[in-house]
Structure 1
């Protein structure tokens, strides 16, 4: 018997997020859930967990099914990590089975010191793993995971992948991390407003199968519409003949042909077109400088002054898409900050070309904070006028209500698209991007990739996203020990970093 069955499930928020969804989940299956930002992934997880009720349809859970839900949002909780995790056992079990919290934390790589410290002292990635430990400590039958790799470096992603594959749990995973989905899922559901599709395949082969089905749907629709058009032409000819000859039989036949054409047109369903979460477009202002950023022999230090690594001399030239890789804490963001300082003229060993125009996106998207709303961000920073600001924001996927909402009320994906719009309007010729795919859906990631390649953008990018790196990087800088080195092939770096967790 399936652990979970969805029958004709629908949910709407003004527009339908999904409708007529049928799905069954067997024990041991690991289902990847794929959709654009704001198109129902988190909502479906909440419906499955019982936190919300569907607009229509039925959810049948196996008797006694125990469900745990790892949500995207991390609570602001000052309590010790171990106490927070043990709470996942329930009040009674926590008193005499608290050791399970220690085991769950150890399995996910927590040290004793980190387990005893407050949740708020951990990085975003470790906080997410702590919440995962809390979700699994009670040994659920079904685990729902919402963007579990957000803020994790490759070492922690590798550890999470190995944990998922060894835990033997039944999972539903909403994620935009294509490489992670390929590594851990057995099934894929593409969630759509109509005709959602599921496949007993990981993400990449499932996407290929989906493309084939969509293409077949397109051909079928065109054939049916051609048949309907042909029937209407025949009906028109018969009608003229019937009128001229006064034949009631031909007029009856005309009506029958018209009805058949109408039935074909009514039943024909066009191929699916993704209702994207908004366009991402970038600009690339011109410059005559060959090297936009030059590095002498440079030492990168931790905030307290401790040397982390050395490198140089080095250059970032026009058209270079340099991706900086390394584990969390190695000093990637410190180098980003040094480059920012150089552009402001504050660094003696790093020089920026006089014609450099910066486009910067921070990991926390802090560059868009301060204006209150999305509309205020665009209208206040750029001389585009009210109507143009609204149009630009609509193109980025923000509805009129979202344009006026406080920025903290927007989802991570919506804020990420707003940040990309700000980048475009700055007209930069050098992009400095720190984890730009953290909150972008797969459609947004692919669009960003295409824009960077199409515009021949010059970039320094910090990223842990394997698919994004493979598609974008023209040069790879890797922090290895106390040196930054340039490598040709990312795959050995991926393998080494994934194995560290």
Structure 2
């Protein structure tokens, strides 16, 4: 197990962890939460050995293999598959031993090295690496492309695949979802649920944390607190804890006031002096309970649009795509006919590479339709948050300079104040206060840059918000503030996001981009996740078929025979209903098992904490017996959970 006992950890002069104790058991999947700057990444640095505790005891099993996503951007001409294969350190070590044995002619060592290669899964290593790449959104024809030919976001996916390829007992993932689309995120969740080692993950995606973790560690005020359960369970327990603390504080304040009133009234009377003095001592001995101090949460709002054209935008029989260097059309989407109406809340769904970005850029006006028409309503004003929007910010300029330039370019037509002090006050509502308004944007965090982009969009007073992955650099509090602001916005929202909590809370209808068309998706996000997993399975099967039959690599995977769209939807709906009925009893039992596991995890944490308190021998024996019983039941339930999960997955 991983053990922290009275650990203090500093970064420069700042104390990040102050005398904390915690236990992480083998095989636990743990979510690490806390505000930005609380020390989450520093705790990871302690675990991987790049930082050392300033005091206390920290231990991790020395034989454990550790895997972590490298933040270094890879620069190499080797293929994507070869790069990911190198992540399998066990396989690499066996290959080195074989090469050394062959160089010396040592037959015994060669035989042992071949056995080690077999144990390391050398026979299917390349297919395993390619399965990881396909799951993370790479196309079959990209598997042998040079690493240097991919963009930065895709290279980070390569680093993630490389970490997953590594055989490990401990897997550390710091914001693994930032560069993923929803289809890759759903696949990653499925993979992590099956991971048998100990997992620690930092993420601001609540549904991701709920899906892959069973324990939550919170860093707050330099303390580390363990909660049994996923993020939603942590929020419930935390709320209960804060409510109890506030109630205890208020009761203590009443008691203090009562004692102080007695002291003030009788301390000068000889007959009551002794009683008054005893109450003074009681006040001095009393351990004061701190009040619950509500941290200032980030909030903002979109201003009321100046007008609401209806329809906002109409696309008629359009072909959407790009043009190559020779100005030849490269169509991606065909026959697109959609209208965007005032007040709609539309989530744009689609597997990676199906054309979501093409549709979004066409609506934003950065791409022209190859054919057909795109008609904007009179007075349309688009607030566009692009995935690459942070790169558009000028790194040497400050937030104030950005706002002064924006105010000058937009003019007074949007009825917003434009004096420098007004701009400073406006930036203050987005947490740019004091000297931060003059700080170079290039030195800011991703979250601060994202808040600046949001501020600039709010300033423009749009009536159509087009948001393409706006949450990549936002923490949980800012994501919740964005959800509230979007729900109160009176205009129209088109949203592309892998944050399912944001999609659920904001969108009331969905468009599906896939197989060359754009249409409505008649289902919820749970059904969409099932659709994505099925599409990923089809792609893997198509890739295997193509590799064995030497079919062209760019053949569209999983394309079904042509069928009437209404009949297709009816068949798919019937299949979903049948699948749901077969899954329901399994899901119900899984939920019961998970609830029991959560309760046992909390009890086990309490028992382990008691063992660290220095109990009497008889109490130690009793706690030890109960801890063993709890551990045995957990093992039985985990085995049952795996059986049920495998049955559910087979469906």
TM-score by shorter chain over 0.5: yes
Partner of 1:287: 307
Partner of 2:289: 268
> How big is the alpha-carbon RMSD for the aligned residues of Structure 1 and Structure 2?
3.2
Partner of 2:365: 341
1:435 pairs with 2:469: yes
Partner of 1:199: 227
User: Which deviates further from its counterpart, 195-204 or 12-21?
Assistant: 12-21
Q: CA-to-partner distance for each residue in 1:273-295, whole Å, 9 max, x for gaps?
A: 3465x444333323142322222
Q: In the TM superposition, what are the counterparts of 1:96-175 in structure 2 within 5 Å? A: 99=122, 102=126, 104-110=128-134, 114-122=142-150, 126-175=154-203
2:505 to 461, 471, 477: 471
* Structure number with higher relative contact order (C-alpha < 8 Å, ≥ 6 residues apart): 1
Kept in 2: contact 1:46–1:52 (CA 8 A) = yes
Counterpart secondary structure, 2:46: helix
How far did residue 310 of structure 1 move?
3.6
- CA shift in 2, pair 1:139/1:275, >3 Å: farther
Counterpart secondary structure, 2:256: helix
- CA shift in 2, pair 1:117/1:487, >3 Å: closer
Partner of 2:25: 26
Partner of 1:35: 34
List runs of 5+ in structure 1 lacking aligned partners.
Answer: none
Q: Which has the larger radius of gyration?
A: 2
Counterpart secondary structure, 2:462: coil
How far did residue 171 of structure 1 move?
0.7
Kept in 2: contact 1:49–1:68 (CA 8 A) = no
User: Which deviates further from its counterpart, 152-161 or 174-183?
Assistant: 152-161
Partner of 1:180: 208
2:406 to 381, 385, 409: 381
Partner of 2:317: 297
1:500 pairs with 2:535: yes
Q: CA-to-partner distance for each residue in 1:152-186, whole Å, 9 max, x for gaps?
A: 12322222122212231211000112222121112
List runs of 5+ in structure 2 lacking aligned partners.
Answer: 99-116, 409-417, 537-651
Q: CA-to-partner distance for each residue in 1:222-269, whole Å, 9 max, x for gaps?
A: 222222222222222223xx2xx4x1x5344334434534554x6212
1:78 pairs with 2:76: yes
- CA shift in 2, pair 1:144/1:338, >3 Å: same
- CA shift in 2, pair 1:9/1:104, >3 Å: farther
Partner of 2:518: 484
Kept in 2: contact 1:295–1:350 (CA 8 A) = yes
How far did residue 121 of structure 1 move?
2.6
Partner of 2:339: 315
State the aligned residue count: 491
Partner of 1:61: 60
User: TM-score, normalised on structure 2?
Assistant: 0.68
Partner of 1:49: 48
Q: CA-to-partner distance for each residue in 1:132-165, whole Å, 9 max, x for gaps?
A: 3333444222110011122212322222122212
Kept in 2: contact 1:297–1:311 (CA 8 A) = yes
How far did residue 468 of structure 1 move?
1.2
- CA shift in 2, pair 1:135/1:493, >3 Å: closer
User: Which deviates further from its counterpart, 288-297 or 98-107?
Assistant: 98-107
Kept in 1: contact 2:76–2:147 (CA 8 A) = yes
- CA shift in 2, pair 1:260/1:389, >3 Å: farther
Kept in 2: contact 1:147–1:175 (CA 8 A) = yes
Counterpart secondary structure, 1:140: coil
How far did residue 325 of structure 1 move?
0.7
Q: CA-to-partner distance for each residue in 1:338-385, whole Å, 9 max, x for gaps?
A: 112289999971222232222111112247512623433234333655
Structure 1 distance, partners of 2:303, 2:368, is 22
Partner of 2:272: 250
- CA shift in 2, pair 1:399/1:6, >3 Å: farther
Kept in 1: contact 2:319–2:371 (CA 8 A) = no
Counterpart secondary structure, 1:433: strand
Q: In the TM superposition, what are the counterparts of 1:218-233 in structure 2 within 5 Å? A: 218-233=246-261
Structure 2 distance, partners of 1:303, 1:457, is 32
How far did residue 327 of structure 1 move?
1.1
Kept in 2: contact 1:85–1:101 (CA 8 A) = no
1:363 pairs with 2:411: no
Q: CA-to-partner distance for each residue in 1:404-427, whole Å, 9 max, x for gaps?
A: 554343222222122112222222
Structure 1 distance, partners of 2:140, 2:385, is 35
* Larger fraction in helix: 2
